[in-house]
Structure 1
Amino acid sequence: MVATARGEERRAEILRAAFEVIAERGYRGASLGAVAERVGLTQQGLLHYFPTKEALLVAVLEARDQWDAVPRGEWRLDLLGSLVEYNAMRPGLVQTFAALLGESVTEGHPARAFFAGRYATVRGAFAAVLRAEYGERLAGGLSPEGAAVLLAAVMDGLQYQWLLDPGAVDMPGVFRDFLRLLDADGDVH
């Protein structure tokens, strides 16, 4: 099936609505009917674009990653810092991601495989960034692979804390502080 420009616009509109509904209700509480209503479709009309709720969820997650995409091999620590700053300006997107991530740890959740694969990819990319920046050993003797796990945990953990109390957590500032811990010299590169 050849996608038309109007069809692609409609799919993008549905994805934005799905982000909103999931952010408000979580994946389990979100219904195809609620998403369809937001974009002025019937549930049957929505199924023309996304045949199942699971297909819509995967498309939402893939779209979110596309918005943050950096070409393979071009990640740098300063770009990660910029991504944290950018996320601080889009709480709805961060909330949707956090809600789906939290729900995905349950057995049988349709996003579980997506997030497991995503974390494997992220850890590998972060390890490569850290190795390029600091070599084989970081401050405290950490390997790039060990520090990559911590880096991913800090980024996602900061998002949860920021969502719960944005006035108390300076997400970009705390992330910069963490980067200084990784550098034996204390400089953020």
Structure 2
Amino acid sequence: MDETFWNERYSQPEYVYGTDPNTFLQASISHFPTTGCVLCLAEGEGRNALFLAQQGYEVWAVDISASGKEKAEKLAREHGVSFEYIVANVNDFDFGEKTWDVIVSISAHTDPNTRKRVYRKSLKGLKENGIFILESYHPKQLQYETGGPKNVEWLVTLNDLIPYFSGQQIIHQRETERDVREGTFHTGKAFVTQFICKKISS
């Protein structure tokens, strides 16, 4: 699932993952600081960045797809908000150090090596008391066939990610079945991994 794959997927006129925010993200916003800078990883067509900008956050999105950027910026204009959108591979993107109040990883599926680097860079990039939030498909999702990667190595368990956030305050951790209705490609009963933590130490 490289740049060509995502540019082709996002070149369709419709928003293939919908325009509403991820419901786990929406339900979890009470854990966020009331203002601040938010980084959205693998943001695609912009639905989560739009939601966060509407809440008053300063939002940066990063994604490999130029087609995704075009649709995200169109969505923002239609709703009278704005956010920064950087076309880049997360391997190359500089998360900085103590830069972000929130880092959002919603369906940001990658190969295991990239995933490990992203977790390390996320923790380094968060400010003190910053929030990292993730929802990804779990390996059990392969039994459901309602969306997500078909390669089990790209799917996430709590055991895969918790060690990278050792010493931080875990606010929420869950592996669960839930109904996911996000456009054409995420639709129906699914099995997901959810995780929220607050950075309390470097």
Larger of the two Rg values belongs to structure? 1
Whose strand proportion is higher, 1 or 2? Answer: 2
Whose helix proportion is higher, 1 or 2? Answer: 1
